[in-house]
Chains A and B, each alone.
Chain A
Amino acid sequence: MKATQDVALGVFFTAIGIVAGVIALTYPIGTPSRMGPGFFPVIISVLLTLTGIAALSRARRAGSPLVEAITWRPVIIVPLMVVVFGLTIDRLGLPLAVLLLVVGTAAASVKLDISWRAAAGAAAFSAICALLFVKVLGLPIPLAGSWLPFSG
C-alpha cells in the first residue's frame, strides 16, 4: 500500500483504538444501568478501531492523496527546542530560557536572519517577556535559575 493520507490515518486510528480497547478491557465494565469505568472506553475504542479499518479499506478501494513530502528541519527543531525550554526554565530562569527558545526555533526557518538587529531583537523580546510575565503578571517563574551563580 502507498503512504496515502487514508492509510496513515487508518493505521493511526486502528492502532490507538486497539491499544485503548485492550487496556479498557482490564477495567471493570459494569452493566448498562451501572456503567463501570471500562464501559464507555470499550465502546469508543471499538468504534475508533472500526473507523480506522474503514479508512484503510477506503484507501484500498478508492485511493486518496499521497502524504506530501515533509520538510524535516522545522518538524524536528521546533518541538525539540520546546522540550529544551522545559528542561531549562527552572535551571536558567525565564529570560535565558526564552532567549534560547527564540534563537533555537528561529533556526528552524530557512530564512533565518543572522544579524545584529535580529539578535538584539531576540534579547529585547526575552527581557520584555521577563518583565511582563514575572513582574507584571506575577507568574512564579524564577528570573535566574539554579544553574546560575547569582540565583537566590
Chain B
Amino acid sequence: MDIFNGLMLGFSTATTLSNFSYCFFGVFLGTAVGVLPGLGPIATISMLLPFTFGLPVDTALIMLAGIFYGSQYGGSTTAILMNLPGEASSVVTTLDGHEMAKQGKAGRALAAAAIGSFFAGTVGTVFIAVAAPLLAGLALTFGPAEYFSLIVLGLVTSMVLTSGSLLTAFGMALLGMTFGMVGTDVNSGFARYTFGSANLLDGLDFVVIATGVFGLGDVLANLQNEHARAASVAPVSRLYPTREDWRRMTAPILRGTGVGVVLGILPGAGVLLASFSAYALEKKISRRPEDFGKGAIEGVAAPEAANNAAAQTCFIPMLTLGLPGTATMALMIGALVVQGVQPGPEMLTQQPALFWGLVVSMWIGNLLLLLLNLPLVGMWAKLISVPYRYLFPMICVFTAIGVYSINNNVFDVYLMALFGLLGFFFRKVGAEPAPLILALILGPMAEEYLRRTLLISHGDATVFFTSPVSLGILVVTALLLMSILSPHFRKVREEGLQEVD
C-alpha cells in the first residue's frame, strides 16, 4: 500500500466518531497528567491499560498514544508556570521557560512551546508514514540473530541513557529479565520460579509490575517530602508571540525537530535525551549563549519541538520491529499483545487500518493539543494547584481497580502492593526503574531469539558476528558502551541526565 492510500485509510479510521472521541479523551487526559507534577504518562498508561481491553484494538492504541504525546504538551505548561517539570522530559524547559514567566512573558513561552511541539509533531507523524513502511520491509529480512542483536542494542541504549550509574542500570535490566522468566516456559512447558503457586503460572503480568513500580512507587516517593511542594503559579499574559519571537524561534524549532526525529528512532533513547540534545545544540550555535538560562525563547522552542518529535518517532521501532524502545512503548506492545496483535514488520500489511489509523490520529491529536493547550491554558494552570493530598488517594484507587480488573484476581492487587514497595526501594537507592520494565518485555523475546538462533546454527554463537546486519548492530552497541567510558561523554551524560522528579 502506498503512502497516499495508507493515509486515506488512516483518515477514515481515525475520524470515526468513537476513535476521534477516544483520541480527544487521550490527549485531554495526557495534558492533565503532564500538567500534574507527580503523575506521569507511564503510570497513567499502565493504570488505564486494563480498561482498554474491552475496546477495539485501534481505538485502544489511539487513546494510549494520545496520553503519551499529550503529556509532552502538558509537561511544558507546568515547567513554564511553576518551574517544576510536570513530566520528566520537560526539565529543560524550566531553565528558560520559567525565566520568561518571571519576566512576565509566560504566555509567549507557552505559545513557543505549543507551536514548536505542534510543528514537530506534524513532521514526526509524516516521518513515521514515510520511514515505517521502509523499515518494516527491511525488517522482514531479519532472522533471529538480527533480532537478538537489536534487543541487546535496545537494552544497552536504555542503560546508557538512564540517570545513575551504568552498573546499576545493568543490574536493573537483569532483574527485569529475571522477573520476565517467572511462569511457564513457552517451549518446554516447564514452570519456572512459580514456587508452586498457580497464580504465577501465567507469569508476572507486566501491567501489574508497571503499575506497582511507577504508579504506587511514585506515590510512596512523593509522600516522603510533602513539605517541599510549595510553589506559586506564574500569571499568564499575552498568548501570542511577537514578530521578534517568531524570528528568533523559527530556526530553533526546525533544528529541534530534526534532533528529535532522529533520536526518537534510536531504541532505548526516549524523549528526555532529545530535549537535552536540542537545548545543548541551540546553546552551542547561538550568537548569544549568555542569554540561555535567562529567558531565551530559543531555549524553550527547540527542546519542546525535540521532545514532541521524539515522542512521535519513538513509535517506529515498536511498530516496525515489534521491539519497544522505551518503557512507554513496552506498555503499548503489551496493549497490542493482549488484544491478539503481534507488533512487528507484518503488522503493516496485516493490520493496515491499525497502523495508518494511529499515524493519522497522531496528527489529529497534535492539532487538538494545540487548541487545548493555548486557549485553555488558564484551566490547566488551575489544575496545577490541586494539592497532592487530594490526588494521591485517587491514584491508589485507579491502580488498584485497574490491576484487579485484569483477571478479577485479588492476587494481582497484592502483587502490585509488593511491587509498589519495590519501586519505592529503587528510588531510595537511586536506581532508575525504566530498564527493568523494558527488560521485562525484552527478556523473554531475547531468550526466544537466542534459542532459535542457536538451534539454526547448531549451537554456534559466532553466527552473531558473521551475519553482517547483526555484526553492524553489535558494533554500534560496542561503540555506545565505549563512549560512556570516555570522560568527555561521561560528563555530558551526568549533566544531561540528572535525577529528575
Residues of A within 8 Å of B389, CB to CB, are 106, 109, 111-113
Given A68-B428, A79-B420: A44 and B404 within 8 A (CB)? Answer: no
Given A44-B181, A102-B394: A83 and B175 within 8 A (CB)? Answer: no
B25 adjacent to chain A (CB < 8 Å): no
Residues of B within 8 Å of A78, CB to CB, are 216, 219-220, 223, 396, 420
Q: Is the CB of A51 within 8 A of B223?
A: no
B289 adjacent to chain A (CB < 8 Å): no
Of residues 365 through 405 on chain B, the ones whose CB sits less than 8 Å from some CB of chain A are: 387-390, 392-394, 396-397, 399-401, 404-405
Contact mask for chain A residues 1-28; partner B; CB cutoff 8 A; 1 contact, 0 none:
0000110110011001100100110011
CB distance from A72 to the nearest CB of B (A): 10
Residues of A within 8 Å of B387, CB to CB, are 111
Q: Is the CB of B171 within 8 A of A74?
A: no
Most buried by A among B388, B400, B410, B420: B400
CB distance from A26 to the nearest CB of B (A): 10
Residues of A within 8 Å of B455, CB to CB, are 33-35
B54 adjacent to chain A (CB < 8 Å): yes
Residues of A within 8 Å of B174, CB to CB, are 13, 17, 44, 47-48, 51
Of residues 21 through 58 on chain A, the ones whose CB sits less than 8 Å from some CB of chain B are: 23-24, 27-28, 31-37, 39-41, 44-45, 47-48, 51-52, 54-55, 58
- Total A residues in contact with B, Cβ cutoff 8 Å: 75
A20 to B418, CA, bound (A): 18
Given A44-B178, A105-B393: A74 and B430 within 8 A (CB)? Answer: no
Q: Is the CB of A32 within 8 A of B461?
A: yes
Q: Is the CB of B404 within 8 A of A20?
A: no
Q: Is the CB of B429 within 8 A of A20?
A: no
B248 adjacent to chain A (CB < 8 Å): no
A122 to B178, CA, bound (A): 40
Residues of A within 8 Å of B190, CB to CB, are 27-28, 36-37
Given A16-B178, A37-B190, A45-B178: A71 and B223 within 8 A (CB)? Answer: yes
CB distance from B155 to the nearest CB of A (A): 12
Contact mask for chain A residues 46-88; partner B; CB cutoff 8 A; 1 contact, 0 none:
0110011011001000001101101101110011111101110
Q: Is the CB of A41 within 8 A of B410?
A: no
Q: Is the CB of A105 within 8 A of B168?
A: no
A67 to B421, CA, bound (A): 15
Of residues 90 through 104 on chain A, the ones whose CB sits less than 8 Å from some CB of chain B are: 90, 94, 98, 101-103
Q: Is the CB of A48 within 8 A of B410?
A: no
Residues of A within 8 Å of B404, CB to CB, are 86, 89, 141
Most buried by A among B181, B223, B224, B408: B223
Give the B-binding residues of A (Cβ under 8 A). Answer: 5-6, 8-9, 12-13, 16-17, 20, 23-24, 27-28, 31-37, 39-41, 44-45, 47-48, 51-52, 54-55, 58, 64-65, 67-68, 70-71, 73-75, 78-83, 85-87, 89-90, 94, 98, 101-103, 105-106, 108-113, 121-122, 125, 129, 133, 137-141
Given contacts A28-B190, A48-B171, 16 further A-B contacts (CB under 8 A): A28-B188, A35-B454, A35-B455, A44-B443, A45-B178, A52-B171, A58-B167, A67-B429, A70-B224, A74-B223, A81-B396, A82-B416, A86-B414, A89-B413, A103-B393, A105-B393
Of all A-B residue pairs in the complex, the 5 with the closest CB atoms, nearest first, are A33-B459, A32-B459, A86-B413, A74-B223, A37-B190
A-B contact pairs, 20 of them (CB 8 A): A5-B429, A9-B171, A13-B174, A16-B175, A31-B459, A32-B461, A36-B188, A37-B187, A37-B188, A48-B178, A70-B224, A71-B223, A86-B410, A101-B400, A105-B392, A105-B393, A125-B397, A137-B51, A141-B405, A141-B408
